[in-house]
Structure 1
Amino acid sequence: MTALTDLLPTLLGVGLLMLVTVGLLAVFRIPHRTAPALAILRGAVQLAVISLILGTVITSPVWVGAALLVMFSVAAVTAARRLGWSWGRLAVVGGSMAAGILVTLAIVFGTGAIALTPRYALAIGGIVIGNAMTIATLAGRHFAESVNERWDEVEAWLALGATRRQSTLELARRAVYSALIPSTDQTKTTGLVTLPG
């Protein structure tokens, strides 16, 4: 009973924040106003289940590797769905994410900056996978919006004989830059605005 009593303030706080969020989104007629509340509920259930699972696998490199593979798969599918699902898109998004994730983890663990233990591999791997998913989604969405908004310019390049890649390269560069802004700003303001957990 003590564990439930200790949990009540947290449940109350989360519940009130969900009500305020949904209420404000409803007042301003924002589409999908219940999405944040449903995401919180889903996340809570997922965290409860995953904490039970991870508590038993955290010491096994094989199981940690399997957990990271599941995390990556979910992240790649989620990003691909946000960009308009297709197997081809999943391949491109997954390949791009995998390249960034593998290079980052190889450097972090290869240099000895962080000890390569199952616990750290799971924690750091999860953070890097999550960031890669966010950046892939933001870059992909911004790129698609840019191509649609500037289609006349893209079409003009194509008419002049440019390839699809050449006609959209600058838009892709700007999309990547825009996608990196939230992570860059969060890193720049660490200790001033954001505090490490």
Structure 2
Amino acid sequence: MTAWQDHLGFGLGLGALVAATVLLARAAGLSLGLAPLTALLRAVVQLGVVALLLRGILSAPWTVVAFLALMLATASWTARGRLRGLWGGRRAAVLGVVCGAVVALGAVLALRLVEPEVRYVVAVAGIVIGNAMSAATLTGRTFLRSATQRSGEVEAWLSLGATPTRAHRDIGREATREMLLPTLDQTRSTGLVTLPGAFVGALFGGASPAEAAQFQLVVLAAIALAMTVTGVVVARLVGRSPYVAA
């Protein structure tokens, strides 16, 4: 089988998976439209660009800073758009993603949990930044939903003279906790239920099972720290106003 036939078969198989997702979502009334297809097409373009960029980064390590900044800016912008309906949501999303990613990645490097080589830094940073982005979105949207449902409780606190921060404190804690639970569950089940991408990728890259497991543990710990920091920052910032909706 020639190379182009391999590529064609891969493309058709990938298209079948996306088509199944679109059709199932439509049958279930999820109102997603062609979002699964457009999301994958965007991923194809972006991964192609990233593959080209990584070649340059791996050959010129000083460019890693610019690449990390690009990833951080993209993640912040994406989370910002998801929280535009929440008071202060855009600012909270950006600060949350930046704080979570910087704290977690900084801790990993300061503690020398991975070698300060470009390939390791880029790998850990990409995973951490992506999870910080998800944490900001999930915390903010859960906060908005809970604050709307519990508006009477918030108004009662405010009528008693409580600050908006105090009135929204329990809601913010609940939103952060609910955001973290799936990640903690996945961490608990790692190796038994799931084999995370960092572990599998390290194995494919030639690392021993012990080295791959060590790298995965670093990633899991960094993800938990980044998401916790992000969730706390987002919840605290959006809870400063008596008004929930933007």
Cα displacement (A) at 1:124: 0.6
84-93 or 10-19, larger mean C-alpha shift: 84-93
Cα displacement (A) at 1:191: 1.1
Partner of 1:15: 15
How many Å separate the matches in 1 of 2:23 and 2:91? 39
Cα displacement (A) at 1:50: 1.4
Partner of 1:104: 104
Cα displacement (A) at 1:119: 1.3
Is the contact made by 1:80 and 1:93 (CA closer than 8 Å) also made in structure 2? Answer: yes
CA change 1:65–1:192 in 2 (3 A) is same
How many Å separate the matches in 2 of 1:94 and 1:177? 20
Partner of 1:160: 160
Q: Percent identity?
A: 42
Q: What is the TM-score when the length of structure 2 is the normalising length?
A: 0.75
* Equivalent AA in structure 1 for residue 63 of structure 2: W
Question: What is the root-mean-square deviation in Å for CA atoms of aligned residues?
Answer: 1.9
TM superposition outliers: structure 1 runs of 4+ over 3 Å: 85-90
How many Å separate the matches in 1 of 2:111 and 2:152? 47
Partner of 1:25: 25
| Structure 1 residue ranges without an equivalent (≥5) | none
CA change 1:87–1:122 in 2 (3 A) is farther
Partner of 1:50: 50
Higher relative contact order (CA 8 A, sep 6+): 2
Is the contact made by 2:22 and 2:36 (CA closer than 8 Å) also made in structure 1? Answer: yes
What are the within-5 Å matches in structure 2 for residues 1-197 of structure 1?
2-84=2-84, 88-196=88-196, 197=200
Is the contact made by 2:86 and 2:144 (CA closer than 8 Å) also made in structure 1? Answer: no
How many Å separate the matches in 2 of 1:157 and 1:59? 58
How many Å separate the matches in 2 of 1:86 and 1:180? 20
| Structure 2 residue ranges without an equivalent (≥5) | 201-246
How many Å separate the matches in 2 of 1:100 and 1:19? 35
